[in-house]
């Protein structure tokens, strides 16, 4: 199983960067985990977007799903997906329509946004939309998906992706405030991809995200084998974050970098 970071920015992109988006490949199977703003262009640099088996969304914050709209237009409008010959392309009777595995409320949200410019079924036309439940256990090719709710500002799921081929396991913590749910869900995972958004806890006292130290502490409590801190701005000092995370984890952690590939 191979993880490629397409975008690791928090709610505002790094210079030239993208928000949450991770390509996970396992043999011939490919999923895109989260599709935040900027991710579609990054995906196009790495893989044909018509050859993604499923897009999986952790939660309905803009930086985790907004590029579903340009992705939808690509699937529907690209000449090579048309039923008749166009612009040198032969035409196809079987255009690609990847699965879109999204949290409860996604259908309503995607329709509402599309409807704002009169195209409410845009995403549902381009993708085969299915809303998962927390207890869902899904298979996409050789990959298996499990979910756990984690506390954030909206309904949010940590996502486990494991390979039926290698039995390796990746846990994505999504966005979350300090909690026990992620620690339980990630117990013994091979790689924990965990957010480290904040330079310090929120001053308002209302928690929604983790600091690098808190992220490392969650990884230590979970007994994760390997830790990659993500959802971290280029306006935060990466070396500081690495040190904070590593001190709390008790071993070196890595900082997600766009384009970086991790073999599991
Ligand atoms: Zn969020």
166 CA to centre of ligand 1 in angstroms: 31
State whether residue 101 is helix, strand or coil.
strand
Question: Which residues on adjacent β-strands are paired with residue 144?
Answer: 139, 162
67 CA to centre of ligand 1 in angstroms: 15
0.85 exceeded by pTM:
yes
152 CA to centre of ligand 1 in angstroms: 7
Instruction: Summarize pLDDT for 96-151 with one digit per residue, the tens.
Output: 999 999 999 999 999 999 999 999 999 999 999 999 999 999 999 999 999 999 99
153 CA to centre of ligand 1 in angstroms: 7
87 CA to centre of ligand 1 in angstroms: 40
CA-to-CA distance for 79 and 157, rounded, in angstroms?
A: 35
51 CA to centre of ligand 1 in angstroms: 27
**Residues 130, 100: contact at Cβ < 8 Å?**
yes
CA-to-CA distance for 49 and 43, rounded, in angstroms?
A: 7
Instruction: Summarize pLDDT for 221-261 with one digit per residue, the tens.
Output: 999 999 999 999 999 999 999 999 999 999 999 999 999 99
């Amino acid at each position: 199983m191979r993880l490629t970071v397409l975008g690791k920015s928090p709610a505002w992109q790094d210079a030239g960067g993208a928000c949450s988006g991770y390509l996970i490949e396992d043999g011939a199977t490919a999923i895109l985990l989260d599709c935040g703003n900027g991710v579609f262009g990054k995906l196009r640099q790495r893989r044909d977007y018509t050859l993604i088996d499923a897009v999986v969304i952790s939660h309905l914050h803009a930086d985790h799903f907004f590029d579903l709209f340009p992705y939808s237009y690509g699937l529907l409008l690209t000449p090579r997906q048309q039923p008749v010959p166009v612009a040198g392309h032969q035409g196809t009777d079987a255009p690609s329509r990847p699965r879109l595995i999204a949290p409860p409320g996604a259908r309503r949200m995607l329709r509402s946004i599309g409807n704002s410019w009169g195209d409410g079924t845009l995403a549902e036309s381009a993708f085969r939309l299915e809303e998962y439940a927390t207890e869902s256990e899904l298979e996409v090719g050789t990959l298996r998906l499990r979910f756990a709710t984690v506390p954030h500002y909206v309904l949010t799921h940590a996502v486990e992706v494991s390979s039926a081929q290698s039995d390796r396991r990746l846990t994505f913590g999504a966005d979350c405030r300090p909690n026990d749910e992620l620690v339980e869900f990630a117990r013994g995972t091979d790689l924990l991809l965990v957010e480290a958004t904040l330079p310090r806890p929120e001053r308002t006292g209302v928690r929604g995200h983790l600091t690098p130290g808190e992220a490392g502490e969650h990884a230590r409590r979970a007994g994760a084998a390997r830790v990659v801190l993500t959802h971290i701005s280029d306006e935060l000092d990466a070396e500081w974050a690495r040190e904070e995370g590593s001190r709390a984890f008790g071993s070196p952690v890595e900082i997600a970098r766009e384009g970086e590939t991790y073999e599991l």
